[in-house]
Amino acid sequence: MDYTVKGSDILLRQPDFDLDETLDCGQAFRWVKTTPDTYEGYYLNSFLRISTEDKAEGVFRLHNTSENELLNKWYNYLDLSTDYSELKRRFSEDETLAKACAFAGGIRILRQDSWEALSSFIISQNNNIPRIKGIIGRLTEHYGSYPTVEQLAAETEESLAFLRSGFRAKYLVDAVSRLTTGELDLAKTAALPLAEAQKALMNIKGVGPKVAMCTLLFGMHKTDAFPIDVWMKRALEKWYPNGLPECVSGCEGIAQQYLFHYIRNLGSENGQQNDS
């Protein structure tokens, strides 16, 4: 990791990083773009303002951040221990992934809190990203921060009506209930092999294969988790009807994020249509 302390800020040098591609690509829903170069958001209750200082050089400013906070918090959250250059080289053995990596080479997989990821992706089902952000925004505004399982323990489907989350409210209540009783333990789940962990999460009402995989990938950093949503269905049919290439083995989830971003933005890149 390459950084320098500059007054009360940290200047971080990280070539494989783009704020739009990482903080606003549908993996996390609490980052807000406050200027063309700046995002503000949270890991748990820790606030961060981060700006692109020099796009060409890959330099970022973490405002009001101590060296200690960088090393103990943001280093982990921003997945700075992973060499994305090396990953992109591996993935680029595949023709389509080479294009996807070139299209958005600044994607990183955030290491989010497991409960936030689980609850966020329960809310995400059959929903669109702006509305997911709206629901989560009402949730955090109501509690003053992202609510813990304990804080939600007293809520019911009816009391959560203010979220306007529709049929998903009862799924949140079921998840909270299972976590409160100890029937499900996210830390223990994270230690299980992928298939077993997915099965454990799917005991929650409203958590199917896709939401479980998103929780495993974004909330537990299981890089072999491979969420298949409507966009990835299209990508698989279009590019990989016979399965994923060998070069993504073990990091299917990271490859998935490049492909997800790529296929969603194909129209804006070269005039091709997203649908069909």
Q: Tokens in use for 133?
A: 């952000």
Stretch that binds DNA, among 8-16, 73-81, 98-106, 124-132 (CB under 7 A): 124-132
CA distance 173 to 157: 7
Q: Tokens in use for 220?
A: 């537990």
Q: How many residues bind DNA (CB under 7 A)?
A: 40
Among the listed residues 193, 208, 250, 267, the single contact to DNA using CB under 7 A: 208
By CB under 7 A, the residues from 30 to 69 that bind DNA are none
CA distance 243 to 266: 21
Query: Please, which residue, 49 or 131, has the CB nearer to DNA?
Result: 131
Q: How far is the CB of 181 from DNA (least distance, A)?
A: 18
Q: How far is the CB of 204 from DNA (least distance, A)?
A: 7
Interface characters, 77-96, with DNA (x: CB under 7 A): --------------------
Stretch that binds DNA, among 9-17, 44-52, 86-94, 158-166 (CB under 7 A): 158-166
- 257 contributes a contact to DNA by CB under 7 A: yes
- 198 contributes a contact to DNA by CB under 7 A: no
Among the listed residues 68, 126, 181, 242, the single contact to DNA using CB under 7 A: 126
**Size of the chain in residues:** 276
Interface characters, 213-252, with DNA (x: CB under 7 A): -x------------xxxxxx--------------------
User: Which amino acid makes up residue 237?
Assistant: E
Neighbours of 187 (CB within 10 A): 8
Stretch that binds DNA, among 35-43, 56-64, 86-94, 255-263 (CB under 7 A): 255-263
| Helix or strand (DSSP H, E) at 63 | strand 59-63
Among the listed residues 142, 164, 188, 238, the single contact to DNA using CB under 7 A: 164
Among the listed residues 161, 183, 188, 267, the single contact to DNA using CB under 7 A: 161
- 205 contributes a contact to DNA by CB under 7 A: yes
SS3 for 66-129 is CHHHHHHHHHHHCCCCCCHHHHHHHHCCCHHHHHHHHHCCCCCCCCCCHHHHHHHHHHHCCCCH
Q: How far is the CB of 225 from DNA (least distance, A)?
A: 10
* Residue 229 main-chain phi, psi, to 5 deg: -105, -170
Among the listed residues 49, 63, 199, 210, the single contact to DNA using CB under 7 A: 210
CA distance 188 to 148: 18
Radius of gyration of the chain (CA): 19
Buried b (16+ CB within 10 A) or exposed e, 2-25: ebeeeeebbbbebebbbbbbbbbb
Q: Which residues sit at the interface with DNA, rule CB under 7 A?
A: 25-27, 121, 124-132, 134, 161, 164-167, 202, 204-212, 214, 227-232, 256-257, 260, 264
